[in-house]
Structure formats: C-alpha cells, structure tokens
Amino acid sequence: MSTAKNRIAYLYVLLGAALWGIIGIFIDALSAAGFTALQIVTLRVVSAAVMLVLFLAVRDWKLLIIDIKDSFSFIGTGIFSIVFFNWCYFTAIEEVSLSVAVILLYTGPAFVAILSRIFFKEPLTRRKVGALLLTLVGCTLVIKLIPVGDQQFSWYGILVGLGSGFGYALYSIFGKHALKKYRSLTVITYTFVFASVVLLPISGITIEASQLASTQVWLHILGLGFFPTALAYMLYTVGLSMVESSRASITATIEPVVATLLGVYAFNEILSFYQLVGIVLVLSAVVLIQFKRKTVAAR
C-alpha cells in the first residue's frame, strides 16, 4: 500500500472513532427524555439499519444481495460483536463503574492483535505491543481510573467487562473476513440488520407514544443512528479494509480522548493533569502504530 493510501486509511479510522466519541451527546438527550440504556442501544441499531437499507436500496440495490452462506460473517459482526459487546458493556457499568467498564472495553485492541495473529497471520511486533501498552495506560488515565483509591470490584463485572472488549474486537475480525468479498457498505448494513433482528425481540422494548411525540427526540434518534453509528462504522470499516485489523483497532482508541474533550467543551468538565498525560499517551500510540518497520533490501 502506498504511503498516501495508508494515511487515508488511518484518517478514515480516526474519523470513525471520533464520531463514536460524540455518542454521549445523543445518549444524554435520550436518557433525559426517559429512554433506558437498552432502549437507546436498540434505537441506535434499528435506526442505523433502516437508514442503511434505504440508502442502498436507492443508491445501488445490488449491494443488498448477499450469499446466504456468508451470513456467518454478519452474525459475527452484528450479533457476536454489536449485540454481545453492548450487553457486556452495560452490564459491566452496572456491576463496577463507568470508568472501569470503559477501560475494560478498551482491552479490545489487545484481543484484536491476538486474534489477528491467529486468523490473519498479522505479525505481533514490539511496536504493536508498545502501542497497546501506551493505549491501556493512556485510557486508564483519561477516564480517571488512575490515580485510584481503595475500590472493591465485582469479579463478575470484571469478567463481563473483558467480554465487552472481546466482543468489541470481534467486529474487526469478522468485518475483515467479510470485506474480502463484500463492499464496506454491505458489511455495515447487514451488521445492523442482523443486530436488529436479535435486539428487537430480546430487548423487550416498549416505548410509549409520548416519548416519541417530540421532534427533538426524533432528531436525536436519527442523529444517534447516523453520526456515531452508521457513518462512524462506515468510515471505520473502509479504513479496516485498507490496513491491518490490529493497527485499525489501536488507532480507534482515539474515541475516549474525543469523548473526554467533548465533555470539556460541551459540558464544562475540567481536565486533570493525569487526563492530559493520558491523552498524550493515546495520541502517541496512534502515531506509533502508523509507522511500519523499514526492511533493509538484500544486497
């Protein structure tokens, strides 16, 4: 891959992850409107699925055609990843805390690096290991898990938190496999279609008409389905098709940095010294992972 194309790939991943980082705006608004966490997840997935299907039906309906035997890839991205990691993530938040749940979610790049080594034979270089360590420490500082006082953790919460990181990682693995045969738009569309098929019946979602009476609520639902979901996953998936899964997932850890900075500018939160250090470490990891080791030509 040329250097220019490589940079574009990382730019797509960064933009996608940055859009994931603004999800708090929509979640706060919908929570204030009376929606539960599970309802918001379901609304996010279903609205994205509807928008993507309609878009492809108008733009190029042929992109909606898939071979039924390839459904496993979309079961992987939609159910094993999206549904599973969301369930684990929200369960972890209830069992431990939001900050601990976030850092456990961001064990995802480590899982991606290991799984990519197994399934795609991607090398596990010292540069990747270094970037993973910078990411882990940086995210820990950004979400203020460090410095930490005496805390009692639920082992069940830790386990499901790690499950969220594993589920988060599965999107890059199954998505990479699906991209060998299908366009990125097809992959993300069926990811959310399969996720919707599972979430709608098991979520037990019951939304009162009064909750949907406001135009503002609908704008937030559509915004949630489009910006940090459909568009974000499309950008990330396009980038994923051009670079190694492990590199893409490490680059995507820019998300908590964006979320933290959004909190500063939109919600008047104050950044601590430790958070600033964490942001620098995450950004350093993102820069580090973009450079491949140069090989010396044989003489």
Instruction: Give the integer Cα–Cα distance in Å for 185 and 62.
Output: 11
Instruction: Give the integer Cα–Cα distance in Å for 130 and 182.
Output: 33
Residue 239 clears pLDDT 90, i.e. is over it: yes
Give the residue from 96, 144, 100 showing the smallest Cα distance to 269.
144
Q: Exposed/middle/buried for 1, CB within 10 Å: 0-12, 13-18, 19+?
A: exposed
Residue 53 located in a structural domain: yes
**C-alpha separations of 20 from 1, 34, 162, 205 in Å:** 27, 22, 20, 24
Token duo for residue 294: 């140069």
Give the residue from 39, 31, 37 showing the smallest Cα distance to 206.
39
Report the 10 Å Cβ neighbour count for 188.
30
Residue 117 clears pLDDT 60, i.e. is over it: yes
Residue 81 located in a structural domain: yes
Residue 74 located in a structural domain: yes
Report the 10 Å Cβ neighbour count for 273.
8
Query: Using alpha carbons only, how large is the chain's radius of gyration in Å?
Result: 19
Model pLDDT, residue 45: 95
Residue 23 clears pLDDT 70, i.e. is over it: yes
- Total number of domains in the chain: 1
Instruction: Give the integer Cα–Cα distance in Å for 10 and 246.
Output: 12
Counting Cα atoms < 13 Å in the Cβ hemisphere of 180 gives 11
pTM of the model: 0.86
Model pLDDT, residue 94: 79
Mean pLDDT of the chain: 86
Helix/strand number for the chain, H first, E second: 15, 0
Token duo for residue 35: 């929606």
Among the ranges given (158-172, 207-221, 227-241), the one the predictor scored with the smallest mean pLDDT: 207-221
SS3 content of the chain, % helix, strand, coil (to 5): 80, 0, 20
Which domain, by its residues, includes 32?
3-132+144-252
Give the list of residues 6+ apart from residue 50 with CB closer than 8 angstroms, or none: 225
Token duo for residue 27: 């979640």
Token duo for residue 65: 């055609």
Residue 137 located in a structural domain: no
Residue 147: asked if its preceding bond is cis (omega within 30°), the reply is yes
Instruction: Give the integer Cα–Cα distance in Å for 33 and 166.
Output: 31
b/e per residue 162-187 (b: at least 16 CB within 10 A) = bbbbbbbbbbbbbbbbbbeebbbbbb
Vertex 107: Cα angle to 117 and 284 (nearest 5): 85
Instruction: Give the integer Cα–Cα distance in Å for 238 and 261.
Output: 25
Residue 12 located in a structural domain: yes
Q: Pick left, alpha or beta for residue 268 (phi over 0 → left; psi -120 to 50 → alpha; otherwise beta).
A: left
Average pLDDT of span 196-203: 87
Residue 126 located in a structural domain: yes
Residue 99 clears pLDDT 80, i.e. is over it: no
pLDDT tier at 106 (50, 70, 90 boundaries)?
A: confident
Residue 295 clears pLDDT 50, i.e. is over it: no
Model pLDDT, residue 245: 93
Residue 154 clears pLDDT 90, i.e. is over it: no
Residue 16 located in a structural domain: yes
Residue 290 located in a structural domain: no
Average pLDDT of span 2-24: 87
Residue 1 clears pLDDT 70, i.e. is over it: no
DSSP letter for 295, please. Answer: P
